[in-house]
Structure 1
Amino acid sequence: MGIMWGMEIKKIHRASCHCKAVEFEVHLPNGLENPRRCNCSFCRMRGAIVAFATLDGIKILKGADKLTLYQFNTKTAKHYFCSVCGIYTHHQRRSNPNQYGFNIACLEGVNPYDLGEVPIMDGINHPADRKK
């Protein structure tokens, strides 16, 4: 367990959507690593602050059947939402498909407004779109 930004971040932290139809655990051995926002067209509208976990670091405990998948553009990233309350829970990343990004606001006992200033990733100029 660790205290970050005055919040207790557990190594395995429970999380849920707003209506609790979807509940999940996030494995956070090093706490909240690299929390950030993204300025791509989708994330800008979604407004969530995300952190990252490995693909085996998120375990859906309840409501897998309530998750809705949304994909756009290259259809590489997989964005998941609760079909009942509409809250974004997590996504499989486009820039690193071996990781999930997850909505920090879904973590029990964590207030993303307590994080202070959060860096913004340049998703408009996504690394996968840059010519080599």
Structure 2
Amino acid sequence: MTVQTYQGSCHCGAVRYEVDLDLAAGSGRCNCSICTKTRYWGTVVRPDAFRLRQGEEALTRYPFGSGAAEHLFCRHCGVKSFGRGELEVLGGRYYSVNLACLDDMEPAALAQVPIRYANGRDNDWFSEPAVTAHL
């Protein structure tokens, strides 16, 4: 396990955070309606691994689904750089960081991050959807 600290932000820079990640532990993409439309590519971390450095006041919440996940985006540029929530199946409180919003991540390193696909469209979160190339 190699944990490294990364800097992340939205497009305009109003929201900035720091997160400790082991990218070899993997990431996730799903085919639920919101992840498909936003092309969200996330990885889940415990609250102590995430530090919002700037922009809480710039975050807008989008209430969706069961409310277990807090969908957040920058009210200035519209980018969803992270979300947060609480789900027992994920071990309680969590943050989901959008890997595409890590500022100090090289494309070659991103290409090596393992991806697990989830079938959120059918509420079958622990199964891979039949088609994943578009995710």
Q: TM-score range by the shorter chain?
A: 0.7 to 0.9
**Residue 124 of structure 1: CA displacement?**
1.8
Counterpart of 2:95 in structure 1 is 100
| Alpha-carbon offset, residue 86 of structure 1 | 0.5
Tell me, yes or no, if the aligned pair for 1:32 and 1:51 is still in contact at 8 Å: no
Match of 1:54 among 46, 59, 62: 46
SS of the equivalent of 1:36 reads strand
Shift of 1:84: 0.6
Distance 1:14 1:81 in 2: 17
For 2:6 and 2:80, how far apart are their aligned partners in 1? 17
Distance 1:82 1:115, change over 3 A: farther
Q: Helix, strand or coil: the match of 2:17?
A: strand
Asked whether the equivalents of residues 31 and 121 of structure 2 are also in contact (C-alpha less than 8 Å), the reply is yes
Report whether the alignment pairs 1:27 with 2:20.
yes
Q: Percent identity?
A: 28
Give 1:115 deviation, angstroms.
Answer: 4.1
Structure 2 counterpart of 1:76, from 56, 68, 75: 68
Question: How far apart are residue 34 of structure 1 and its match?
Answer: 2.0
TM-aligned CA distance change 1:70 to 1:19, over 3 Å: same
Match of 1:121 in 2: 118
1:17 aligns with 2:22: no
Structure 2 counterpart of 1:85? 77
Runs in 1 of length 4+ with deviation above 3 angstroms? 115-119
State the distance in 2 between where 1:31 and 1:80 align: 22
Structure 2 gaps of 5+ residues are: 126-135
Change (3 A) 1:54 1:20: same
